[in-house]
Amino acid sequence: MVTMTHMESMVRYDNGNEDEYMMQEDEWDRDMLLDPAWAQQQRKVLLCWCLLLLSCRPTLSAHDFFTSIGQMTDLLFTEKDLVTSLKDYIKAEESKLERVKKWADKLEALTAVAIQDPEGFLGHPVNAFKLMKRLNTEWSDLESLVLSDTTDGFISNLTIQRQYFPTDDDQTGAAKGLLRLQDTYKLDANNIATGNLPGVKHKTLMTAEDCYELGKIAYTDVDYYHTELWMAQALKQLDEEEESTVDKVTVLDYLSYAIYQQGELERALEYTKRLLELDPQHPVKDNMKHDNLQLEEQQRNEAEDDANEQKEPEKKETPEKPEKKPKEKKEKKAFSLIPERKKYEMLCRGEGIQMTPRRESRLFCRYYDNNRNPFYVLGPVKQQDEWDRPYIVRFLDIISDKEIEKVKQLAKPRLRRAMVSGRQNGSPAVTDSRIAKSAWISNMEDPAIKAINQRIEDLTGLEMDTAEELQVANYGVGGQYEPHFDFGRKDEQNVNWRGNGNRIATWLFYMSDVSAGGATVFPDVGASVRPLKGTAVFWYNLFPSGEGDYSTRHAACPVLVGNKWVSNKWIHERGQEWRRPCGLNETDS
């Protein structure tokens, strides 16, 4: 490669140093001899590097990335690999351009001298020969260099990695997760776009294009409410002079239509007029006359309704004495009448919790050894009451960080989209009611799993041989599990789970803290249990009689900020005959 010494040693051509100039030019040509195999060799090196790098990365599931934050972290490493490959491509391009630049600089210096006295310059036979050589051979070599493709390594890596990329369904699922969080936690679009969320460590801004894409996904889903919210946010950011590939006309088109579909004709027309000010020839102008007639008719109907109301004789109302009812009973009745979905969202926000101070005073903390179990007599565990009806207890410091990492290590490679049992045939099915990925770990896979299962048996006093394997779950963007029962009901099929009976109890480990959201809530009773790493909660799904306790209907709230890992053990009836004797009445505790 030519060094700066060569460049500095070049001298301008004149009649006195012509031989010295040509000698130095020959040395330059030897250094700058264009190797046609150079680019191909670079491609091979890059491709080998990419294949070696790919062989070291873990295998990923190619579907439903949005349902598991833990598995989405692998995508960051995939992107990092691609950035590294892209940087190598840039270096190769820069190297090629540097060679072309030096060739151009050399010829620029040569031609600047030659054109001052073309005939005198070419009168030297060597100069004439070298001109023929350059135009016949070296310019062709230069053409090959310029046309050589240094992208092969990067493109090959990108093509290989693309099979692990999220799909359109992943992008749509993540967008719907954001909309779900917005509704559940009553978040303003501007707060989400500016990253002002509770508990965030890495504040991220949404561009106008991001907001537009979110609104467009809502529009495709015929969700005009969210279409309006996010198109309005995109317009706000564009009005603030944010640079974007999205133009105001497109945003206004979506926004006015979404508002129109919600029946607000006057507001829709305002945005349509603004659109036409920016683009007078936009096709929407053809609808203006029809929209104005609709608005006039709507205003006429509203005026008639107001006039009719004024004509009706005023009814004399006799004031009624308000009934005095105990405040607690009134609130309890009001909460019970709220639709389940609304109760679920209220509890997720920390509202509507139905634990009075009097009831709360009956909850206690204690050191627990499960009736002097030999393993815990000298080292009892910390236990606290979380709720009274149904009775929910939490065990503190019950699983170590080391055990948590082992469980996650075993589960992560096999995480798959979480399924729920279908009501008709009992077979598992994917549903939007559960946004998470899960994996099952058997007792024999690792000593740590065996120790964990034994700990559950010692502290609950229940038989683990008939229990299900440890299920590990990781929630995704807006990850949730809508209200459900853990036990099988009589109106379902396949509720006996291979002859081991119904699910008598649930043990749930929290394997991570969650910055915001992600609580376990019981809508029927107004209970909320927050995630706390290293703890576990336990409750019975069935009464001692074997009848289901419908107050245990529960849900996992959407994760607003953070990464939620849980693992649970579903314990079955068989084997518990002498450990939890049957009660005489259906609802005896």
Q: Got the DSSP string for 133-146?
A: HIIIIIHHHHHHHH
The pLDDT assigned to 143 comes to: 82
Write the single-letter amino acid at 7.
M
The pLDDT assigned to 29 comes to: 46
Half-sphere exposure of 294 (CA within 13 A, CB side): 14
Q: What is the pLDDT of residues 341-387, one digit of tens each?
A: 999 999 999 999 989 999 999 999 999 999 999 999 999 999 999 99
> CA-to-CA distance for 301 and 284, rounded, in angstroms?
26
Q: For residue 304, give both structure tokens.
A: 């008639």
DSSP class of 392 = E
Pairwise pLDDT comparison (580 vs 5), residue with the higher score: 580
Residues whose CB is less than 8 angstroms from the CB of residue 523 and which lie 6 or more positions away in sequence, other chains included: 340, 343, 344, 347, 483, 553, 554, 555
Q: Is the pLDDT of residue 484 over 90?
A: yes
DSSP assignment of 318-367 equals PPPPPP---HHHHHHHHHHHS-HHHHHHHHHTT------HHHHTT--EEE
**Residue 531: which of 514, 550, 551, 548 has the closest Cα?**
514
DSSP class of 542 = B
* Reported confidence tier of residue 18, pLDDT bands at 50, 70, 90: very low
The pLDDT assigned to 86 comes to: 86
Which string of b and e fits 176-193 if b means at least 16 CB within 10 Å? bbbbbbbebbebebeebb
* Reported confidence tier of residue 583, pLDDT bands at 50, 70, 90: confident
Half-sphere exposure of 311 (CA within 13 A, CB side): 6
* Reported confidence tier of residue 292, pLDDT bands at 50, 70, 90: low
> CA-to-CA distance for 578 and 382, rounded, in angstroms?
26
Write the single-letter amino acid at 87.
K
Q: Is the pLDDT of residue 242 over 90?
A: yes
> CA-to-CA distance for 439 and 435, rounded, in angstroms?
14
Pairwise pLDDT comparison (572 vs 327), residue with the higher score: 572
Q: Is the pLDDT of residue 211 over 50?
A: yes
Q: What is the pLDDT of residues 85-119, one digit of tens each?
A: 888 888 888 888 898 899 889 889 888 888 888 87
The pLDDT assigned to 63 comes to: 64
Instruction: Give me the CATH code for the 354-572 domain, please.
Output: 2.60.120.620
Residues whose CB is less than 8 angstroms from the CB of residue 34 and which lie 6 or more positions away in sequence, other chains included: 99, 138, 141, 142, 144, 145
CATH topology of domain 168-291: 1.25.40
Helix and strand totals (H; E) in the chain: 20, 17
Q: Is the pLDDT of residue 62 over 50?
A: no
Cβ atoms of 72 and 66 closer than 8 Å = yes
The pLDDT assigned to 439 comes to: 95
Domain with CATH 1.25.40.10 in the chain: 168-291
Identify the three-state secondary structure at position 503. Answer: strand
The pLDDT assigned to 410 comes to: 96
Mean pLDDT confidence for 127-154 = 76
Q: Is the pLDDT of residue 36 over 70?
A: no
Domain with CATH 2.60.120.620 in the chain: 354-572
Q: For residue 147, give both structure tokens.
A: 């046309």
- Residue listed under structure tokens 């939007």: 432
- Average per-residue pLDDT for the chain: 82
Cβ atoms of 438 and 475 closer than 8 Å = no
